[in-house]
Amino acid sequence: MIIKQLSVFLEDKSGRLTELTWILAENDINITALSLAETADYGIVRMVVGRPDLAKDVLESAGFSVGLTDVVCLRMPDKPGGLYAALRILADNDINIDYMYAFSNNGVALAVIRAEDINHVIDVLQQNKMELISQSEIYQI
Amino acid sequence: MILYPEIECADRQQLHELQSKRLAETVKRVYENVPFYRNKFKEKGIEPGDIKSVDQLKDLPFTTKIDLRNNYPFGLFTVPQTEVVRIHASSGTTGKPTVVGYTRHDIEIWAEVVARGLTMAGVNKDDTIQISYGYGAFTGGLGLHYGAEKVGATVIPISTGNTKKQIQFMTDFNATVLACTPSYAAYLGESILQSGMSPEDTKLRVGIFGAEPWTDEMRLQIENLLKIKAYDIYGLSEIIGPGVSMECECHCGNHVCEDHFIPEVIDPETSEVLPYGELGELVFTTITKEAMPLIRYRTRDLTRLYPEKCACGRTLVRMEKCLSRSDDMLIIRGVNIFPSQVEAVLMEMVETSPHYQLIVNRENNLDILEIRVEINEHFWSDSIRELEKIRRRIDRNITSVLGISAVIKLVEPHSIERSEGKAKRVIDNRTFKS
Residue pLDDT, tens place only, A37-71: 988 889 999 999 989 999 999 999 998 999 999 99
Which positions in chain B touch A67 (Cβ < 8 Å)? 380-382
Instruction: Grade residue B421 by pLDDT with cuts at 50, 70 and 90.
Output: low
pLDDT at B420: 60
Question: Are residues B304 and B250 part of one domain?
Answer: yes
Distance CA B289, CA B101 (A): 10
B410 and A CB contact within 8 Å: yes
Is the Cβ pair B384, A64 closer than 8 Å? no
Question: Residue B48: pLDDT above 70?
Answer: yes
Asked, for residue B389, whether it belongs to a domain, the answer is yes
Segment B302-323 shows an average pLDDT of 95
Domain that holds residue B414: 332-428
d(CA A30, CA A47): 10
What pLDDT is attached to residue A140? Answer: 54
Q: Does B195 fall in a domain?
A: yes
Q: Quick check: B378 pLDDT over 80?
A: no
Element (H, E) at B235: strand B229-236
The pLDDT-based confidence of B365 (bands split at 50, 70, 90) is confident
Could you say which of 2.60.40.1180, 3.40.50.300, 3.30.2130.10, 3.40.50.720 is the CATH number of the domain covering A71-138?
Answer: 3.30.2130.10
Q: Are residues B213 and B86 in the same domain?
A: yes
Q: Could you say which DSSP state residue B59 is in?
A: G
Claim to verify: residue B96 and residue B227 sit in the same structural domain: yes
- Co-location of B120 and B156 in the same domain: yes
Q: Choose one of B301, B327, B353: the last residue of a domain.
A: B327
**Bridge pairing between strands B254-256 and B241-247:** antiparallel
Q: What is the mean pLDDT of residues B100-105?
A: 98
- Answer whether A63 sits within 8 Å of B414, measured CB to CB: yes
Would you say residue B241 has pLDDT above 60?
A: yes
Supply the pTM of this predicted model: 0.78
Q: Indicate if B407 and B394 belong to the same structural domain.
A: yes
Look at A65 and B413 and tell me if their CB atoms are within 8 Å.
yes
Whether residues A42 and B385 touch (CB distance < 8 A) is answered with: no
Q: Are B288 and B375 within one domain?
A: no
Last residue of one domain, picked from the residues B310, B327, B344: B327
Where residue B400 sits, what CATH number does that domain have?
Answer: 3.30.300.30
Q: Do domains A3-68 and A71-138 have the same CATH topology?
A: yes
d(CA B35, CA B33): 7
Interface of A with B (CB under 8 A): 5, 7, 9-11, 37, 39, 41-42, 44, 46, 63-65, 67, 69, 98-99
Q: Which residues of A touch B412 (CB under 8 A)?
A: 9-11, 63-65
Min Cα separation B388/chain A (Å): 9
Residues B188 and B201 in one domain: yes
Which CATH number characterizes residue B140's domain? 3.40.50.12780
Average pLDDT over residues B24-28: 97
Confidence of residue B52 (pLDDT cuts 50, 70, 90): very high
Work out the minimum CA distance from B157 to partner chain A, whole angstroms. Answer: 39
A73-131: per-residue pLDDT in tens? 999 999 999 999 999 999 999 999 999 999 998 888 999 999 999 999 999 999 999 99
Integer-rounded Cα radius of gyration of chain A: 16
Task: Report pLDDT for B434.
Answer: 43
Q: Could you tell me the pLDDT band of residue B94, with boundaries at 50, 70 and 90?
A: low
Amino acid at A30: N
A3-68 homologous superfamily:
VC0802-like (3.30.2130.10)
Mutual orientation of helices B182-194 and B163-172 as an angle, nearest 10°? 80
Tell me the percentage of chain B whose pLDDT exceeds 70.
96
pLDDT at residue B352, as a whole number: 60
pLDDT at position B424 is: 77
Range A131-139 average pLDDT: 84
Instruction: Give the Å distances, CA to CA, from B154 to B114, B128, B146, B174, B433.
Output: 15, 4, 11, 10, 36
DSSP string, A91-132: HHTTPPEEEEEEEEETTEEEEEEEESSHHHHHHHHHHTT-EE
Quote the CA–CA distance of B325 and B280 in Å, as a whole number: 9
CA distance B263 to B244: 10
Task: Establish if B274 touches chain A: CB-CB under 8 angstroms.
Answer: no
Which member of A39, A41, A46 has the closest CB to residue B382? A46
Domain ranges for chain A: 3-68, 71-138
Q: Is B380 on the interface with A (CB under 8 A)?
A: yes
Task: For residue A26, count other CB atoms closer than 10 A to its CB.
Answer: 10
**What is the domain count for chain B?**
2
Domain endpoint, select from B327, B355, B378 = B327
